[in-house]
């Protein structure tokens, strides 16, 4: 059996917790704590190394804010991780200095995902983001100057108070930088977040006015030469990028149902029909590591039916058909027939795919398709 080829590393530290965030994050921490955390990550890596393939396809450092880490510790971690074809780090604009950009580049990072979110100050304030539009542009140029030729920008839309022209301007500003990749998410007020508490009602009120924003995002970006390859992700088309396939290979691994190993607090792994999630507690994680033990984990076995469903729900996010071989039992044939009649889903030679309208309704359509 071939080993796991995708590695995720969770770096939970942030300067500040944004109101809308529902990830596992920790505010602050000094170099000493960061050092102990990196030790623990590397110890967990050693414990699980047997699961990994000799050659990794991707490594992804997510957070939190990976670039908030003490630079020495970040460099130590990067140097110690196994090499891979794509190594991505998430970065907050205000943390990207020329030094940091060079540090990443020197340590094998070849892709950076920048959390821009918006270029409009009042909206950034609503999101409680620290970086301004200038920080985004500066960070982008620093990374370019350090030789990184695969940069992604994260944008949010549907922010309370965001007008249609605000949206157009955000897209324009992002495109002006010429990123290889864009992730565009509709802002959700996730239950329990501070943001939902403050802005939930306002979002609900605006939802009708903003329901065309998603269509607009797709229209603008595809017109600008980007491929809408996943529900929320866009990459420059190969013919406009010297033939490069600029899809995020790490995330593509998730969407294609590949196994992956996750290290760090709250990190999830899925390997050979088994999924586990490390407990999201820093002290316990460090403690277990000091004892030479695996961190506490919540384990979820995935039977064949569940795996089939996941293949379907992940695969249908992509612009390429999901092969149906082996997962027919996950599919509700009556629902499929109805959705085909409605022009939302299509069976093609290679499997099942959603039509363009079907992709805009992908959540509901996929739910219906599940057996």
Partner 1 sequence: MDQSRIRNFSIIAHIDHGKSTLADRVLELTEALSQRQMREQVLDTMDLERERGITIKAQAVRVPWKGHQLNLIDTPGHVDFTYEVSRSLQACEGALLVVDAAQGVEAQTLANAYLALENELEIVPVVNKIDLPQADPGGAAAAIAEVLGEDPARVLRISAKTGEGVPEVLDALIERLPAPAGDADAPPRALIFDSSYDQYRGVVAFIRVVDGTLESRQALRAMALGTTFEAEEIGFMSPERRPVERLTAGEVGYVITGLKDVSRLRVGDTITAARAGAAEPLPGYKDVKPMVFAGLFPTDSDAYPELRDALERLKLNDAALFYEPETSQALGFGFRCGFLGLLHMEIVRERLEREFDLDLLVTAPNVAYRVLERNGDWLEVHSPADFPNEADEVEEPYIKASIIVPKEFVGAVMELNNERRGSFDHLEYLSEERVLLVYELPLAEIVLDYYDQLKSRTRGYASFDYDLIGFRPGELVRVDILVAGDPVDALSLVIHRESAQARGRALVERLKDEIPRQFFDVAIQAAIGSRVIARETVKAKRKDVLAKCYGGDITRKRKLLERQKAGKRRMKQLGAVELPQEAFLAVLNIGDGGKK
Site map for partner 1, 262-301, x if CB under 8 A?
x---xxx-x----x-x----------------------x-
> Residue 161, interface with partner 1 (CB under 8 A)?
no
The two structure tokens encoding residue 320:
């390429």
Does 196 participate in binding partner 1 (rule CB under 8 A)?
no
- Asked if 211 touches partner 1 (CB under 8 A), the answer is yes
Candidate ranges 92-100, 138-146, 162-170, 309-317; the one touching partner 1 (CB under 8 A): 309-317
Non-local CB neighbours of 202 within 8 Å, separated by 6+ positions: 160, 161
Query: Is residue 254 part of the contact set for partner 1 (CB under 8 A)?
Result: yes
CB of 268 to partner 1, least distance (A): 5
**174 or 369, CB closer to partner 1?**
369
Biggest alpha carbon–alpha carbon distance for the chain: 61
Residue 37 neighbours by CB under 8 Å, 6+ apart: 11, 13, 29, 73, 264, 282, 285, 286
- Position of tokens 């796991």? 4
Q: Does 214 bind partner 1 (CB under 8 A)?
A: yes
Q: By CB under 8 A, tell whether 368 contacts partner 1.
A: yes
Q: Could you tell me which stretch among 13-21, 41-49, 112-120, 303-311 binds partner 1 (CB under 8 A)? A: 303-311
| Token duo for residue 369 | 């398709």
- List all residues 6 or more positions away from 174 whose beta carbon is below 8 Å from its beta carbon: 116, 119, 153, 155, 182
The CB-of-99 to partner 1 minimum distance in angstroms stands at 29
Q: Which segment (110-118, 127-135, 170-178, 249-257) binds partner 1 by CB under 8 A?
A: 249-257
Of these, 215, 293, 304, 356, which contacts partner 1 (CB under 8 A)? 215
Q: Does residue 51 touch partner 1 according to CB under 8 A?
A: no
Nearer to partner 1 among residue 142 and residue 199 (C-beta): 199
- Interface positions, 21-50, toward partner 1 (CB under 8 A): 23
Question: Is residue 366 part of the contact set for partner 1 (CB under 8 A)?
Answer: yes
CB 29 to partner 1: min, Å: 21
Nearest to 261 by CA among 56, 27, 24, 116: 56
Per the DSSP assignment, residues forming a β-bridge with 60 are 8, 88
Sequence-distant (≥ 6) Cβ neighbours of residue 67 within 8 angstroms? 74, 89, 90, 91, 92, 95, 96, 100
Gap between the Cα atoms of 30 and 103, Å rounded: 19
Among 33, 177, 241, 314, binds partner 1 (CB under 8 A): 314
Interface with partner 1 includes 212 (CB under 8 A)?
A: yes
- The beta strands (E) that lie in the chain are given as 6-11, 13-14, 26-27, 56-63, 84-91, 111-117, 151-157, 181-186, 226-230, 233-236, 261-263, 268-271, 274-278, 297-301, 345-348, 351-354
How many residues of this chain bind partner 1 (CB under 8 A)?
45
> Which residue, 48 or 188, has its beta carbon nearer to partner 1?
188
The verdict on 326 binding partner 1 (CB under 8 A) reads: no
What 8-state DSSP symbol labels residue 272? T
Residues that bind partner 1 (CB under 8 A): 6, 8, 23, 185-186, 188, 211-212, 214-215, 231-232, 251, 254-255, 260, 262, 266-268, 270, 275, 277, 300, 306, 309-310, 313-314, 317, 332, 339, 342, 344, 359-368, 370
């Amino acid at each position: 059996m071939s080993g796991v080829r995708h590695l995720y590393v969770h770096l939970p530290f942030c300067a500040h917790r944004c109101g809308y965030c529902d990830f596992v994050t920790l505010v602050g921490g000094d170099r000493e704590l960061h050092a102990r955390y990196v030790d623990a990550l590397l110890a967990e890596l050693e414990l699980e190394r047997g699961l990994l393939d000799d050659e990794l396809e991707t490594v992804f450092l997510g957070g939190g804010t990976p670039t908030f880490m003490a630079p020495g510790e970040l460099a130590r971690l990067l140097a110690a991780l196994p090499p891979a074809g794509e190594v991505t780090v998430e970065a907050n604009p205000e943390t990207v200095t020329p030094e940091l950009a060079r540090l990443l580049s020197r340590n094998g990072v070849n892709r950076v995902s920048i959390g821009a979110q918006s270029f409009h100050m009042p909206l950034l304030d609503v999101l409680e983001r620290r970086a301004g539009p200038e920080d985004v542009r500066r960070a982008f140029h620093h990374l370019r100057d350090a030789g990184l030729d695969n940069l992604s920008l994260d944008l949010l839309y549907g922010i309370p108070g965001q007008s249609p022209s605000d949206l157009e301007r955000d897209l324009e500003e992002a495109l002006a930088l010429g990123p290889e990749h864009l992730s565009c998410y509709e802002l959700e007020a996730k239950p329990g977040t501070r943001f939902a508490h403050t802005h939930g009602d306002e979002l609900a009120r605006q939802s009708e006015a903003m329901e065309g924003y998603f269509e607009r995002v797709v229209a603008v970006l595809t017109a600008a030469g980007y491929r809408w390859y996943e529900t929320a992700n866009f990459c420059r088309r190969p013919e406009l990028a010297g033939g490069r396939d600029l899809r995020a290979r790490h995330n593509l691994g998730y969407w294609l149902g590949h196994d992956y190993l996750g290290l760090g607090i709250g990190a999830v792994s899925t390997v050979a029909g088994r999924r586990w999630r490390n407990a999201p507690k820093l002290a316990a994680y460090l403690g277990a590591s000091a004892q030479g033990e695996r961190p506490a984990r919540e384990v979820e076995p995935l039977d064949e039916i569940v795996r089939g469903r996941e293949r379907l729900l992940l695969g249908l996010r992509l612009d390429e058909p999901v092969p149906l071989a082996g997962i027919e039992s996950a599919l509700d044939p009556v629902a499929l027939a109805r959705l085909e009649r409605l022009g939302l889903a299509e069976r093609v030679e290679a499997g099942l795919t959603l039509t363009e309208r079907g992709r805009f309704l992908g959540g509901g359509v996929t739910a219906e398709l599940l057996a």
